[in-house]
Structure 1
Amino acid sequence: MKLTVFATTDVHGAVYPYDYFSGKEKNTSLLHIKSYIDRYREARPDEMVLTVDNGDILQGDVWNDYDFEAGHGHRLLPRIINDTYDVIGIGNHEFNFGLDYLHSVYGGLRPVIINSNVDFMDHPLKERVLPYTILEKETPEGMIKIGFLSVVPTQILKWDAFHLEGRLNVSDMRTTVEKTAAEMKAAGADLTILLSHSGLSKNPDHLKKYGENQTLLMTMIRDVDGIVFGHTHEFFPDRDFDVSIGTIDFKRGTINNKPMVQPGVYGSHAGKLSFEVERTAEGWQIRHRSACLIDTQETQLDPRLTDKYEPFHKKVLEYLSTPIGEIDSTWHTYFSRLFPSKAVQVVAEAGKAYTKRLIETGELENLPVLGFNAAVKAGRDGPHDFTVLEAGPVTLAEAIDLYKHANALIIIKIDGTTLREWLEWSASQFIIPDGDGFLLRSNRSRDGFPGYNYDTFFDLDYAFDITHPPKYDSTAKQINDSRRVFEVKYMGRGVEDDDEFIVPANNYRVSYTPFLRDAEILHESKASVRDIVIDYMRSGPQFELRDPMRILPRGIYRMDTATKAKDYIMKGQPIKHVKETENGFSHYEINLE
């Protein structure tokens, strides 16, 4: 008998084949994946087909924003989830809106919802979310029992501490999987599939207890027969990955004989786990196992599905088309990892405006306010993963694109010492100058320095000497005792260690970053950063673009960004397009002499 498990992960609300920020149709989406699965089922009526999602489906796109505003009974995403999946796991971003919202959404879902390593304590989600499920399916050879379990990184307690602190506990992923998979086998599961919302890493920090990306460890657990993983928005099978423990077979899509898939992000791919099983006197035996990815760009969209969901699409368009302001120049993030960008700075300005109102009303002490931000969309997920707002009217959709996460605003107080460490972390994204001239580390989660961890402080003037080794890795873990920050000024005066500043930040940055966890929290807003940005855009903001950073040594360097960026180089900017590389990216020459 053949068993096929189709899987998605990190869909982030990319349901309909339409880019709501560019206003163009897309050739990838969850509807593409469903079209493929429906045709597959029709063509193979004797094959057992199951569908699963591995988390991060409820956050990230405008359908999610619509659902958050619409309220129970009017949400759109639950409709397609109910039409598509048998089982769903929970990702870290499912927690962004809080437990009560999550419970409200899950109340409208029919698929089995599972998570094995989160204890929801006394919250109603404890009854709604199962630690695992075993699906019983009849076959000509008798009943087969297919088990599913799911885990999420323990770091959710840091990333969403604002929503979760004191309301749940999270256990280590690997030990949970080991224990739960054995329990499922003892309960009669013939096959056990793990939904691991955790990436594939060889980094020792990830492979130790409570590491963030532990999936490689899961391949060594005896009672796991197949793995769907995610979180880092990458792909597997992937010939660029070389295991440090065990064996890898790219043709079969296995590591340590476990078929496994990581199908990217935004519905770009579907994962397919394939099993051939046989009933013997000892029970069901797996005779063959493999895994592969299905590229949805090569999938024909079923027009019946687009017709079915088009009314929902129109509701979202109507919601997003509301004009909320106007800008007199184009804002984009193509070069934001090196040069100032109004699309990045506007978030800092919005946070400062909110904070200064609290100072004026006496809620906060009168200290200097420092605005900062990082580009959320800076190419990590491909050449289209950038923010672009053309000059003219700004709609709600474009304002959402400036800050797509539902993080809460948290205002903290820090001293000059902490500020320098924060800047050292940003300085760590740069490569020590070498022969090829490239300036920035990779924008990847697995082995690089993602742009969303590179903060720019727009109210300071500072300089980095990148001939010294980086002090931090991308997760803000110290890796050297070196110093790159050699000058920091505020209002023309050098910053002293005991100087105090107020910083409008967000719950992700404060809880995630080691040197900020002990910062004094002055205010926790009930409004999200995104809502504060939207309100700021409605006010018709006027601010000057600031370039606070200098890089030493001066010279001519290179960086990679989208090929499309060449159309946005302004006259006089020290940027020159060199050549296209692959997958929509290009090399650019940067003159910092």
Structure 2
Amino acid sequence: MYKTSLLTLAIAFSFTAFAQQTEQFPTVKLRVLETSDLHANIMDYNYYAGKEDPTIGLARTASLIDAARKAADNAVLVDNGDLLQGSPMGDYMAHTGLQPGQIHPVYKAMNLLDYTVGNIGNHEFNYGLDFLHKSLSGARFPYINANVYCAAAQCWDGIKQGQHLFTPYLIKATQVTDTAGHRHTLNIGYIGFVPPQILQWDQQNLRGKVRADSIIETAKKLVPEMKAKGADIIIAIPHSGIGSTENPGDPMAENAVYAITQVPGIDAVLFGHSHSIFPAPRYSGLPNTDISKGLMNGIPAVMPGRWGDNMGQVDFTLQLQQNRWQIVDARAQAVPIYDGIRKQALVTADAHIHQAVVAEHQGTQAYMERPIGAAATDMYSYLAQVQDDPSVQIVADAQIAEVKAQLPDTLKGLPVLSAAAPFKAGGRHGTTSDADQYIQVAKGTLTFKNAADLYLFPNTMVAVKVTGAELKDWLECAANQFNRIDPHSSKPQQLINYNHPTYNFDIIDGVSYRIDVTQPSKFDRECQVTNPQASRIVDLSYRTASGKLLTGKAIAEQTFIVATNNYRAFGGKFVGTGSQHVVMELPNSNREALVNYITAQSKFDADSGQYQTMVNPAADYNWDFADIRSDIPLDIRFTTQNSDKADHFINAHQHRPMRKLHVDELGFAVYQIDLSGKR
């Protein structure tokens, strides 16, 4: 008993001594805040609907940032990129241009928030290097990017071939206060990256001017260099999504965050690009991932959605042990500005942000209200993922008209098709605000804001030459939009594969085909073959000008011209794309082609004040699902917007029988669709 008591006392003494020693270590609480993928959404305003929108906008995120800072002893703020393009205000500024000394509105707003550093996103390059350079000159905080280099003899600011186009990383001596009130200097390292695919997506702006290296290889090279230069902690700010967990070693991966968390020396990853939210329950199946603490491979990681709907937040607890700062705890979270379930704003807008961009806001409103023509049919994208749709049809029609008008004599004998996708059809079903992201263009007079709603991106017109066999595989990858349906199961089955972006669900207009969703997908979302023998595209056919129907071997051997955009044409992801297939590049944008088409189809009579003719974007239903034969009733479901307008449109335009079931946790309406073929 006596020996046991002594042992107990010794253990207690040792534990107390250790605890006291631990308490003696200076402890610092550091909060790192992030914005990402703002896409020029500074105002909490929907320019397409012409009204305030509490679900988006840096003006709202700014209030979260202010509150998070006030609740922390030490805080820094970073931006992950994709600032200049993606909203009507971004388009307006690109249209008007920047005069010497003029500050872009995104920086008028951001300069009020005391950012520590910003990273370059892929959409920063959409309007060319000159516009980017002029825009960045207005930022009162430094920019970083580690994997983009000058490829010309000389680039801006005296940067020469082979040198980094931007400052690759920043090590900032930051004054912090520990829990005892003492001051310390913490050397925080920041390093940024962008997908190397910018050379494909913006080839017309970047060809011969820059080169883009691997995100992972660049990180492995420069992170040790940052450590050697005295960085106490290193925060990676990759404009990149999570990427593969099974094969994270792809050196040229677009989405490389999972791999970055495995690079020694990186202490946190504040990322973006995919417009999703991490941590979130949907990612609970990722290997070695702790959703509750926001850890990926033990590293805190956060992705704050898009358009300012969330703020990223990483909280560190650091201790100074043996003259080195050690991370003893870390956690990450995405903080929303809006409660989509209760339909309730969680913050108010920052009035200073509103005031900073009032002139550009008013200019954007006027820019969006310019009349361009009229439509005879409503163009809503509520059903764009489950049937041929007028919001996609009008883009396809416009692209065909533009390419046919510009086609050189050497190609005029070939049939012209069009690839178009539903850009706004509920996002990735990842956030509550996704439920409002649908094209809603009513029939009647159309303005430029309607064209911007129908065609979201500033892509340029490009045409590729493909065979019918290549065309089929192009469609096979697009068909990865759908989950495989089991015809022998009566359980609820979700039709839409939310991991496949809707902008990669290409509809090829000009041919007819059906999609058999009982078959496995031949390709994954990256258009990599996963099931070589699979075939979802059935009954592919083309009717010639003389009326002959081409099917089977005849259509496989037929050569086509496909009107598309520069992102798709040069991307090389889909079969039939890549620079080797490009036969024509047009200087005008796809949106300009759409505006010109609407105007050409609309004839306004000044005497009556009415349009005598209007564009008619009614869907031609050139694609459909293959009927599913089953001995049991199937419960196949999809989601769309929950609104009276959507209900009315779906009831009036459903191509197959549909029935509304309920509203899900994100505010989407859940519908049941009958693919049996019974009408």
Give the TM-score taking structure 1 as reference length: 0.92
**Correspondence for 1:30:** 58
Partner residue, 2:564: 505
Of 186, 200, 205, 1:163 maps to: 205
SS at match of 1:267: coil
The residue number in structure 1 matching 2:116 is 86
Q: 2:369 aligns with which of 321, 324, 328?
A: 321
Q: Is residue 589 from structure 1 mapped to residue 672 from structure 2 by the alignment?
A: yes
User: Is the Cα–Cα contact under 8 Å of residues 201 and 207 in structure 1 kept in the other structure?
Assistant: no
CA contact (8 A) 1:5 1:273 kept: yes
Q: In the alignment, does 2:32 pair up with 1:5?
A: yes
Q: Match of 2:125? A: 95
Aligned to 1:18: 45
The equivalent residue for 1:533 is 594
Q: Which moved more, 1:575-584 or 1:556-565?
A: 556-565
Whether the 8 Å CA contact 2:496–2:638 is kept in 1: the answer is: no
Q: Does 1:131 align with 2:168?
A: yes
Distance 1:245 1:552, change over 3 A: closer
Query: Per-residue deviation at 1:544?
Result: 4.9
Check if 1:494 corresponds to 2:582.
Answer: no
Q: 1:328 to 1:385 in 2, by over 3 A?
A: same
Q: CA RMSD in A?
A: 2.4
- Give the stretch that moved more between structures: 509-518 or 348-357: 509-518
Shift of the 4–366 alpha-carbon distance from structure 1 to 2, 3 Å rule, reads same
- Cα drift, residue 522 of structure 1: 2.0
> Which residue of structure 1 lines up, in the alignment, with residue 395 of structure 2?
347
Q: Distance in 2 between matches of 1:128 and 1:372?
A: 34
Q: Does 1:63 align with 2:63?
A: no
Counterpart Cα distance in 1 of 2:422 and 2:516: 22
Distance 1:116 1:487, change over 3 A: same
Correspondence for 2:379: 331
Give 1:177 deviation, angstroms. Answer: 1.5
Contact 2:383 2:640 in 1 (8 A): yes
Amino acid at match of 1:80: A
Residue 286 of structure 1 and its aligned partner are, at CA, apart by: 3.3
More divergent stretch after superposition (341-350 vs 288-297): 288-297
Residues in 1 aligned to 2:365 and 2:215: alpha-carbon distance in whole angstroms: 40
SS in 1 for 2:112: helix
Do structure 1's residue 421 and structure 2's residue 455 form an aligned pair? no
Distance in 2 (alpha carbons) for counterparts of 1:128 and 1:88: 15
- Indicate yes or no: 2:638 matched with 1:559: yes
Deviation, structure 1 residue 354: 1.0
Q: CA deviation at 1:154?
A: 2.1
> Could you say what secondary structure the match of 2:205 adopts?
helix
Is residue 76 from structure 1 mapped to residue 105 from structure 2 by the alignment? yes
- Name the CA distance, whole Å, in 2 between partners of 1:383 and 1:202: 27
How many residues align structurally? 585
Summarize the alignment of residues 164-563 of structure 1 with structure 2, pairs less than 5 Å apart.
Answer: 164-242=206-284, 246=288, 248-297=289-338, 298-359=346-407, 362=409, 364-381=411-428, 382-434=434-486, 435=489, 436=491, 438=493, 440-443=495-498, 448-480=499-531, 481-491=533-543, 493-495=549-551, 496=554, 497-512=556-571, 513-515=573-575, 516-517=577-578, 519-539=580-600, 540=602, 541-542=615-616, 544-554=618-628, 557-563=636-642
Per-residue Cα deviation, 1:118-140 (whole angstroms, up to 9, x for no partner):
11333227576200011123355
In structure 2, how many angstroms separate the alpha carbons of the residues matched to 1:478 and 1:228? 31
| Counterpart amino acid of residue 38 in structure 2 | V
Question: Would you say the 8 A contact 1:178–1:223 is kept in 2?
Answer: no
- Structure 1 residues 207 and 232: alpha-carbon distance in aligned structure 2, compared to 1, 3 A threshold: farther
Q: Which has the larger radius of gyration?
A: 2
SS in 1 for 2:64: helix
**How far apart are residue 303 of structure 1 and its match?**
3.0
1:50: how far off? Answer: 1.6
**Distance between the aligned counterparts of 2:165 and 2:210, measured in 1?**
14
User: Given that residues 67 and 77 in structure 1 are in contact (C-alpha distance below 8 angstroms), is that contact kept between their aligned partners in structure 2?
Assistant: no
8 Å Cα contact 1:202/1:244 also seen in 2: no
Question: CA offset at residue 300 of structure 1?
Answer: 2.9
In structure 2, relative to structure 1, the CA distance for the partners of 1:300 and 1:507 (3 Å cut) is same
- Taking the aligned partners of 1:460 and 1:501, their CA distance within structure 2 comes to 10
Task: Tell me if structure 2 keeps the 8 A contact 1:563–1:584.
Answer: yes
Q: In structure 1, how many angstroms separate the alpha carbons of the residues matched to 2:215 and 2:165?
A: 20
How many angstroms apart in 1 are the aligned matches of 2:510 and 2:241? 36
Distance 2:418 2:292 in 1: 49
The SS at the match of 1:105 is helix
Query: Partner of 2:607 in structure 1?
Result: none
Unaligned runs of 5+ in 1: none
Change (3 A) 1:343 1:138: same
Aligned counterparts of 2:661 and 2:48: Cα–Cα separation in 1: 28
Contiguous gaps of at least 5 residues in structure 2: 1-27, 177-181, 339-345, 429-433, 603-614
Residue 609 of structure 2 corresponds to none
| Residue type at the aligned position of 2:513 | Y
The answer as to 2:147 corresponding to 1:117 is yes
TM superposition shift of 1:19: 0.9
| Aligned-pair CA distance for 1:43 | 6.1
Q: TM-score, normalised by structure 2?
A: 0.81
Q: Does 1:580 align with 2:663?
A: yes
Q: Provide the rounded CA distance (Å) in 2 between the counterparts of 1:547 and 1:582.
A: 32
CA 1:35–1:581 in 2, change beyond 3 Å: closer, same or farther? closer
Which letter maps to 2:105?
L
The answer to whether the 8 A contact 2:375-2:616 is kept is: no
* Matched residue SS, 1:348: helix
